[in-house]
Amino acid sequence: MTVEDDPAKIRMAVASTDTPADRDGFVALVDGLEQRRFDTLWLSDTPLTPAVEPVIALAIASAHTSRLKLGTNIVVPGRNPLLLAKSLAHLDRLSDGRLLLAFMPGVGLATERAALGVAGINRIRRIEQVIDLCRSWWSGDSISCEIAGFNYDEVTVDPRPVQDPLEIWLGGNGPKSLKLAGTHGDGWLASGATPSDTEKSRRTIEAAAAEEGRTIDHDHFGIGIPYARTQVDDALVAEVMQGTDARRVDILPFGSGELRELLQRHINAGLSKFVLRPMSLDDGWDVELDFLAEHALSLQN
């Protein structure tokens, strides 16, 4: 079957990166996404910020929704792999198979590494190890091994996830991250990349997968896109554009026209999953979600 015979499923998610641990506000966001029929709520794991812990928050979200998928970037280094595998398996069961996962190495700051107890380790290698362990546990295997001071003696995870397999997506734009996505990932979620970059990276990942005798489903490539309904402060733009010489419109679109055009260019580059992150919530989530429902949701198929 060719890609033309099996077109990619274009899906729109909304990211809330600074979500406070405020129940009423969070439930209102979740209800708004469900009612407008967005595909996914996406929460990031940022251990050193006040943002809500995503696994806990998504458990709350699962109880208030029946259709909305629940996605999270999980910082893997520093976590007990057994507890991670168990909590994610149980969250998938509680949400009736609506969990989406991306494993991340973290931001890499010395303060974060120290706080997580992973200063000096190879974070890519740790993610490889944890992916292998999670997949084994989620398949029902009994594991005996030692990793990062944790000793497992014929340990199992029960009950297993609803999804079989429970997929693990990976992120990152650097050479090591792209290779890891090809050798260990079920999909790739980019950030801070232009359409030209994502097309090249997608091909690099596919080649790395082929070298390992693997394939990545053609509609398992996506990107997180920061955007603003109107122009935002120059300092905020500079923060988003730090480390890249790309044009702003290729990374951070302003308004509906730039957003639609950028989404379409990424679609043409072979991406199909989009996590849209507002740069400002001055007018509240209802206004923001109405804007996205009008200008982005129509691209879903």
Nearest to residue 171, comparing CAs of 218, 224, 247, 207? 224
Whether 4 is covered by a domain: the verdict is no
Nearest to residue 43, comparing CAs of 68, 69, 71, 22? 71
Whether 1 is covered by a domain: the verdict is no
Two tokens at 130?
């944890």
What's the domain count of the chain? 1
Tallying the residues shown for the chain, one arrives at 301
205: domain CATH number?
A: 3.20.20.30
Task: Report how far residue 139's alpha carbon sits from residue 152's, in angstroms, rounded to the nearest whole number.
Answer: 16
Pairing verdict, β 143-147 and 150-155: antiparallel
Please list, residue by residue across 156-184, b when 16 or more beta carbons sit within 10 angstroms of its beta carbon and e when fewer do. ebeebbebeebbbbbbbbeeebbbbbbbb
Q: What's the pLDDT band for 3 if we cut at 50, 70, 90?
A: low
Whether 151 is covered by a domain: the verdict is yes
φ, ψ dihedrals at 259, nearest 5°? -65, -50
Mean pLDDT of 178-204: 97
Q: What's the pLDDT band for 5 if we cut at 50, 70, 90?
A: low
| Per-residue pLDDT at 11 | 98
Two tokens at 161?
């996830």
Q: Which of the 8 DSSP states describes residue 49?
A: S
Nearest to residue 13, comparing CAs of 267, 210, 274? 274
Question: Which pLDDT tens digit goes with each residue over 234-269?
Answer: 999 999 999 899 999 999 999 999 999 999 999 999
Q: What's the pLDDT band for 16 if we cut at 50, 70, 90?
A: confident
Q: Which of the 8 DSSP states describes residue 171?
A: E
Task: Report how far residue 228's alpha carbon sits from residue 242's, in angstroms, rounded to the nearest whole number.
Answer: 17
pLDDT at 114 over 70: yes
Q: Please report where in the chains the tokens 């507890």 appear, as a residue.
A: 83
CA 270: distance to chain centroid? 17
Whether 5 is covered by a domain: the verdict is no
Whether 2 is covered by a domain: the verdict is no
Two tokens at 76?
């893997």
Query: Which stretches of the chain are assigned E, i.e. beta strand?
Result: 11-16, 40-44, 69-75, 99-104, 143-147, 150-155, 169-171, 187-191, 221-227, 273-278
Question: Which pLDDT tens digit goes with each residue over 42-100?
Answer: 999 999 999 999 999 999 999 999 999 999 999 999 999 999 999 999 999 999 999 99
pLDDT at 19 over 90: no
Domain hosting residue 162, numbered range: 11-299
